[in-house]
Chain A
Amino acid sequence: MIEIQHVSKRYGSSARKAVADLSFTVRPGEICGFLGHNGAGKTTTIKMIVGLLKPDEGTVKVAGHDVQREPLLAKQSLAFVPDTPEIYPQLTGLEYLNFIGDIYGVPAAQRQARISRFAEEFELTGALTDRINAYSHGMQQKIVLMGALLHNPPVWVLDEPMVGLDPRSAHILKELMAEHTKAGNTVLFSTHVLEVAEKLCDRVAIMKEGQIVAQGAVADLRAERGGESLESIFLGMTAR
């Protein structure tokens, strides 16, 4: 579902590559946790997957579509939640969701059903007609999530999606992710919360200085390193 082949990215004239010859795949039916310290290259990689950045080298495919050659098909196949929930503050939550529905061509019946369901689950129904600039950080994060999931694409790419969410909403999101992958879809999400990654992910990929230094099922990684916790593995792998 997500295939990254020999991808590199350098910002401007910087000597260091933000992402260096990166290759990995997230398969259908899999939740993949993307781990790494700040500046490791996670967000750069995610931005290349969703088409916000163009790789200097290599290819990125989403649901079989090359992000550079077939950008519209790739974008139609994915949901993206950025690391900061910045959305049009002058629109109401409902106007924003309707706008996203129009842009992604979501049929009215599906739109109504999904907005209604998500709004209820995230306890946002009462605030849907408020302007987004009146929302708290967490509420904005919820609206971004609802917008991203509205067209029910097969691939979800979420950059630190739990930040700002209350425990109940974070729990619901985790359930949605599990439900989505059970149906044969794909979720890639970055996080700094190792406990979440350990419990939720079928596989994790640990990045350091633009490269993946370890990847695999958490159980396999632990077995390879004599039963160490994911935290110990992460700290050992990413030590500077």
Chain B
Amino acid sequence: MRQLLALLRIYRTNGWRSFLSSMGTKRQALAIVMVVLIAMGMAPMLGTLGMTYLAVYQVGAGYGQGELVLVTAFLAGVAAMLFLGLFQLISAFYYSKDSSLLVPMPIPARTILLAKFIGVMALEYLTLAVLVGPALVIYGTLAGPGLLYWPTAVIIFLLLPVLPLVVASLLAFVLMRVTNLRRSRDLLRLIGGGIGLFLAISISRLMNSGIKNPEALVKAFASKGGLIETIGGRVPPVIWATKALGVGFTAGTQALHFLLFVLAVGVGFAVLAWAGELLFWGGLIGSGDGKRRETKAGQAALQKSAGIERSALRALVGREAKLLLRTPVFVLNSVIPLAVLPFALAPAIGQIRSALGQFDLARNPGLVAAAAIAFLCFLNAAGNIAATAVSREGPYIWISQTSPVPPRTHALAKLLFANLFAFLPMALIVGVGAYSGLLRGSAVIGFVVVGALATGALNAGGLTIDLIRPLLKWEDPQRAIKQNLNGLFGLLIGVVGAVIAGVGGFALNLVSPALVLPILGLLFAGLAAALTTLCLKTADARWGRYSD
């Protein structure tokens, strides 16, 4: 226990300092102010989630089953922990720099493992607070549970990530033992991410599978606790957590299920410790080893490749592309979600068409294009290409900084690459739009032209932020794109762009459908010009200061 506490203290200090540095400050007060600002920026998202949970609560409460909101939130939380946790755990268990220090020390595997596990769990509470917190507050405020509800809710909230993270840990152990991917950590994480996504989707499908049969659904609404059992039945600890808090159950039932839940968590920890002793060392030791692949370049390859001269701008754009596409964690965040998009949208296309059937879309191509541009703004920002472009250079930034190329050329290359990359979501939207019949003819041209201007503006805005406060101190590229606040700022800019396109398009359509695309085009062209100028000026001002 002494060793575990010592490790946790170190992780806490190190984690907090990393957090401060990711905020671009060494001062706690400033970091707290920034967190508050970010929370305010996320307020609309939290508000939407809160409203959704409120609606879920009201539907459930109408049938005497207000606990529906709890089971829904708990399942969402568990799915998120599985998906996100697997990435974090693989990194923490097998690729953290402290492993080479800890392995030679007389510390049991389970102690190191538990310390790392708790470290990851602490990070996941932020996500859980967003996904589960509003539901606990809504239920606690509206269902009128007793005073015991709040401390019980806090304990359940704190223990909720344990079981999904234990499952993710076991998967990580098995992956490390049965695969020979220790040296290829990015590929391993790509596979881990795929498995996590599969598990998260499976949970979602399990939720839906219980409510496909109309008769079962009617029964679920009618019987006490039926909805909870129907939706969460395949994940018993979620049922136990819900029943431990639900006012619809007797005090005895609540206590029994609370105990069951706590017991399950205890068993989870025990399994983790046991599996850790059994599997952890085997996967960890030697993970830094490995032979270099020997491929002979030969003089011919050298002569061929080195015989081509390119401009500095072209070389920089090419480097951006290579570094993004060859770093699996960047691909996972920026490319894969786009590749998944058509498959995710395909089942819903029929419903979207019938829902939109009431509007005469053929007469409002501008409105359709504006809606597509709004979607493009969001997708483009979610890819995080521009808003993390400087951060992705990380410890290698010295190469760019010491090169005889003007800072604005570096910024221009990053912007150019981000704008070229934006054609990928654009092509996907055109494809899905054409397939569904929603986007046709002149609307496609309008969408492409105005969409390019919109993404140009948003990318310039995102890159400006990353030029001002890049996250350059990282050892794991995941930090540059996933744990980088600039990505969140970029997303917020994307949301603003989507609102301009969506709300602006709708308003202009009321005035005259013919005005929608020209006015939006002019607006985004103006924004693109202004933000690109700002971006290039920022590059000139900030480029030489990153080492200060």
* A53-B548, A127-B297 known; A104+B404 contact, CB < 8 A: yes
What's the minimum C-beta distance from A32 to chain B, rounded to whole angstroms? 19
Assess whether A216 is interfacial by the CB under 8 Å rule: no
Pick the interface stretch among A72-80, A176-184, A219-227: A72-80
Contacts of B299 in A (CB 8 A): 116, 125
Q: Find out whether the CB atom of B296 lies under 8 angstroms from the CB atom of A126.
A: yes
* A53-B548, A112-B303, A129-B295 known; A105+B308 contact, CB < 8 A: no
* A90-B322, A102-B314, A129-B297 known; A52+B398 contact, CB < 8 A: yes
Q: Find out whether the CB atom of A90 lies under 8 angstroms from the CB atom of B323.
A: yes
* A72-B406, A90-B323 known; A98+B308 contact, CB < 8 A: yes
Question: Quick one: closest B residue to A78, CB to CB?
Answer: B402
Contacts of A131 in B (CB 8 A): 326
Number of interface residues of A (CB under 8 A): 49
Assess whether B307 is interfacial by the CB under 8 Å rule: yes
Question: Quick one: closest B residue to A9, CB to CB?
Answer: B548
Main secondary structure on A side of the interface with B: helix
Q: Find out whether the CB atom of B548 lies under 8 angstroms from the CB atom of A108.
A: no
In the bound complex, what is the Cα–Cα distance between A51 and B545 (angstroms)?
9
Q: Find out whether the CB atom of B302 lies under 8 angstroms from the CB atom of A115.
A: yes
Chain A 75-108 near chain B by CB (<8 Å), digits 1 or 0: 1100010100011101100110111111111011
The total of interchain contacts (Cβ-Cβ below 8 angstroms) comes to 129
Chain B 60-71 near chain A by CB (<8 Å), digits 1 or 0: 000000000000
Which B357-405 residues have a C-beta within 8 angstroms of A? 395-396, 398-399, 401-405
Which A41-93 residues have a C-beta within 8 angstroms of B? 47, 50-54, 71-73, 75-76, 80, 82, 86-88, 90-91
Assess whether B315 is interfacial by the CB under 8 Å rule: yes
Question: Quick one: closest B residue to A112, CB to CB?
Answer: B306
Q: Find out whether the CB atom of A125 lies under 8 angstroms from the CB atom of B305.
A: no
Q: Find out whether the CB atom of A130 lies under 8 angstroms from the CB atom of B293.
A: yes
In the bound complex, what is the Cα–Cα distance between A100 and B405 (angstroms)?
11
Q: Find out whether the CB atom of A134 lies under 8 angstroms from the CB atom of B293.
A: yes
Assess whether B354 is interfacial by the CB under 8 Å rule: no
What's the minimum C-beta distance from A77 to chain B, rounded to whole angstroms? 9
Number of interface residues of B (CB under 8 A): 43
What's the minimum C-beta distance from B451 to chain A, rounded to whole angstroms? 30
Contacts of A94 in B (CB 8 A): 297, 301-302, 305-306
Assess whether B97 is interfacial by the CB under 8 Å rule: no
Q: Find out whether the CB atom of B405 lies under 8 angstroms from the CB atom of A125.
A: no
Q: Find out whether the CB atom of A82 lies under 8 angstroms from the CB atom of B308.
A: no
| Most chain B Cβ neighbours within 10 Å, of A47, A52, A73, A130 | A52
Assess whether A11 is interfacial by the CB under 8 Å rule: yes
In the bound complex, what is the Cα–Cα distance between A127 and B298 (angstroms)?
9
Assess whether B141 is interfacial by the CB under 8 Å rule: no
Question: Quick one: closest A residue to B400, CB to CB?
Answer: A103
Q: Find out whether the CB atom of A54 lies under 8 angstroms from the CB atom of B309.
A: no
Assess whether A111 is interfacial by the CB under 8 Å rule: yes
* A112-B303, A125-B302, A126-B294 known; A50+B402 contact, CB < 8 A: yes
Contacts of A54 in B (CB 8 A): 544-545, 548
Which 9 residue pairs are nearest across A and B when measured between Cβ atoms?
Answer: A102-B315, A90-B326, A76-B404, A128-B297, A75-B404, A129-B297, A134-B292, A86-B395, A112-B306
State the A residues within 8 Å of B (CB): 11-12, 47, 50-54, 71-73, 75-76, 80, 82, 86-88, 90-91, 94-95, 97-105, 107-108, 111-112, 115-116, 119, 125-131, 134-136, 139
User: Could you name 16 residue pairs across A and B whose Cβ atoms are closer than 8 Å?
Assistant: A50-B402, A75-B403, A90-B323, A90-B327, A91-B319, A91-B323, A95-B322, A98-B308, A102-B312, A105-B309, A105-B312, A111-B309, A116-B299, A119-B302, A129-B296, A130-B294
